[in-house]
Amino acid sequence: MSTVSRGPSDQVDDELLVLTDLPEGWNLLSRSPGKRPEDDSGDLDAVLGYVDQTLTDQESQAPPDPDQRDSAGGRWRYIEHVGTNTRVYLRLQRQGIDEEIRITGVVYLPGRPGDPITSHLLRELPTARIEAAINKRLFASSRTATVTGGKVELPSGRKVAERDLLKPLGNPKQTPDFYELVALQHGRLTANGDVNPSATMAELSGVALSTAQGWVAKARTCGLLPPGRRGRPG
């Protein structure tokens, strides 16, 4: 039997992670280190213990927890910080019914082998922003609003300047395309690094936090925002 030789794996082929998902100063290298002949995510999982499924007798008899995800299906992507040559492996995994991308592992390598990892360097890797950018891109096809020429065109035909996306949202019963605006404002705040966008939205519109959270929940239900992460604000 002949063996077919495969070319080096290009980690951007499936668009799981693209350059525009990364903050300024980070590069998505086209190929993983060593130009390996195929995706080595399974090997990395094995080395790092991601395939360990050892359970106690009590755990094995317990009903499955729907909030606990299987480790299978993750894919490692290799990125590099331009200024420091810091190299990072990110493990990306689709989860939930809507298959939102989550970062489920990080391997951090300083630019020079043997250099210490400092808190400052760790802060240079905004994983939450990267995750949000990936899902914003993947969920963009579900949104009916589009951005053209610096303005947002909403389903009703109304156009709103991008600079106005952080203004009060108004009354959901009186504002056309209200939940599209909720999704766009939430997305803008998240992209800006806001750790609790719902709280900021409540402040911008002068409403209770629970009201803003209800708006965001409805936008998620409508498919205008990706599902929220359990236990995290916003």
pLDDT tens readout for residues 13-27: 667 888 888 988 899
Kindly give the residue spans of alpha helices, DSSP state H, lying in the chain.
41-48, 57-61, 119-123, 127-139, 178-191, 197-205, 209-221
Question: Measuring CA to CA, which residue among 64, 75, 81 is closest to residue 102?
Answer: 75
Supply the DSSP symbol for 21: G
The pLDDT tens digits of the residues spanning 110-162 come to 888 888 888 887 777 888 888 888 877 776 544 544 555 678 888 778 888 88
Tell me the β-bridge partners of 77: 90
Distance CA 220, CA 224 (A): 6
The pLDDT tens digits of the residues spanning 79-116 come to 999 888 888 999 998 876 456 788 989 998 888 888 88
Distance CA 110, CA 92 (A): 21
* CA dist list (Å): 99 to 92, 117, 134: 11, 32, 12
Distance CA 111, CA 103 (A): 22
Distance CA 132, CA 135 (A): 5
CB count in 10 Å sphere of residue 86 = 21
Distance CA 111, CA 105 (A): 19
Average pLDDT of the chain, as a whole number: 75
Least confident of 15-29, 58-72, 87-101, 179-193: 58-72
Least confident of 137-146, 176-185, 221-230: 137-146
Phi, psi (5° rounding) for residue 131? -60, -45
Q: Which residue has the higher pLDDT, 196 or 44?
A: 196
* CA dist list (Å): 32 to 47, 76, 108: 16, 9, 14
Phi, psi (5° rounding) for residue 68? -95, 120
Tell me the β-bridge partners of 80: 27, 87
Tell me the β-bridge partners of 27: 80
Distance CA 143, CA 223 (A): 7
Q: Are 226 and 135 in contact (CB under 8 A)?
A: yes
User: pTM value?
Assistant: 0.54
